[in-house]
Amino acid sequence: MQGSCVEFWLQGFARKNLMIFHWSFGAFGPTPALWRLIDNGDSTVTDRATGLMWQKGGSLRSLSNYRAKSYIKNLNKDKFAGYSGWRLPSIEELASILEKSKKNNLHINSIFDNMQKRCWSADGTTSIHGADGEAAAWIVDFENGKVNRAVWWNIHRYKHIRFGFLPKNYVRAVRSVK
């Protein structure tokens, strides 16, 4: 499943929660994202539409999927911004912060840091081309405004796919506030 953020929304999440779709893309008037996203002043951003608290930045370097999970574990151990309960976002949650147009060269609100161009989700994928034995996860590519799939293991190649050959994926952690 590859496509623009709008195609992704229409295929799934928007049908489940049309209100979020409208808020994200400005269907209710001039840029409601200006009051939808709140900078908490502690390196976090609260999304009032979804009830989620996001890291304003995220990992400072790209991480493998395995290391992404360790990164989350350390955020909770260190109580980042005074909170525990940090996790990798679902693909729907991560796609909810995609913006239709680019700001700071990314399809994400400028309230967020722009270093994290592609971010891991917690959602794994199944093989889409019959290549059984692949390990992959959905990512959001904020640079191109798309939802993509990142493969980090293929049993048919009998080796780990070195992360340097893949686009660099970061972590932007999330927690529920509702």
pLDDT in tens, 75-134: 999 999 999 999 999 999 999 999 988 888 999 999 999 999 999 999 986 555 545 555
- CA 54 – CA 56 distance, rounded (Å): 6
If pLDDT is split at 50, 70 and 90, which confidence band does 10 have?
Answer: very low
Mean pLDDT of 3-26: 41
pLDDT (0 to 100) of residue 132: 53
Of 9-13, 63-67, 96-100, 171-175, the poorest mean pLDDT is in 9-13
Contact residues for 33 (Cβ-Cβ < 8 A; gap 6+): 23, 24, 26, 99, 109
Tell me the residue range of the domain where 90 lies: 3-176
Please report, as a single letter, which amino acid is at residue 24.
Answer: S
> What is the distance between the alpha carbons of residues 2 and 138, in angstroms, rounded to a whole number?
10
Per-residue HEC secondary structure of 20-48 comes to HHHHHHCCCCCCCHHHHEEECCCCEEEEC
Question: What does the pLDDT average to over 62-83?
Answer: 94
E-state strands within 35-117: 37-39, 44-47, 52-55, 98-103, 106-108
Q: What percent of the chain has pLDDT over 70?
A: 66
In DSSP terms, 139 is beta-bridged to 120, 148
| pTM given for the model | 0.73
Residues across the chain? 178
Domain count within the chain: 1
